[in-house]
């Protein structure tokens, strides 16, 4: 079950966003370069950046490590409970 699925089962409205695209650009990395460093496809990076795919925990840590940021700083979860 993804984070979004879990959060929606509580009957609350939640939205998860990430800062991957802006951080990637600040580091002057292409989607392909980031994908290679994280051992995934460019399409996976594209889908994550466009909120069409939630990365696994392992991939989230790989992305955060590559972008030199923590996982909590990389992903923002907002909802009606905040």
CATH architecture of 3-79: Orthogonal Bundle (1.10)
- Confidence at residue 82, expressed as pLDDT on a 0 to 100 scale: 46
Supply the pTM of this predicted model: 0.76
What letter would DSSP give residue 78?
Answer: E
pLDDT exceeds 80 at position 74: yes
> CA distances (Å), 1 to each of 8, 34, 36, 63, in order?
11, 25, 26, 20
Q: What digits encode the pLDDT tens for the residues 25-73?
A: 999 999 999 999 999 999 999 999 998 998 999 999 999 999 999 998 8
Residue ranges of domains in the chain? 3-79
């Amino acid at each position: 079950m993804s984070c979004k699925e879990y959060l929606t089962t509580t009957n609350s409205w939640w939205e998860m966003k990430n800062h991957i695209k802006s951080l990637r650009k600040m580091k002057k990395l292409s989607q392909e370069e980031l994908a290679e460093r994280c051992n995934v496809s460019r399409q996976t990076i594209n889908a994550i950046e466009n909120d069409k795919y939630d990365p696994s925990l392992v991939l989230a840590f790989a992305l955060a490590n590559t972008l030199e940021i923590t996982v909590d700083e990389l992903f923002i979860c907002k909802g009606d409970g905040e």
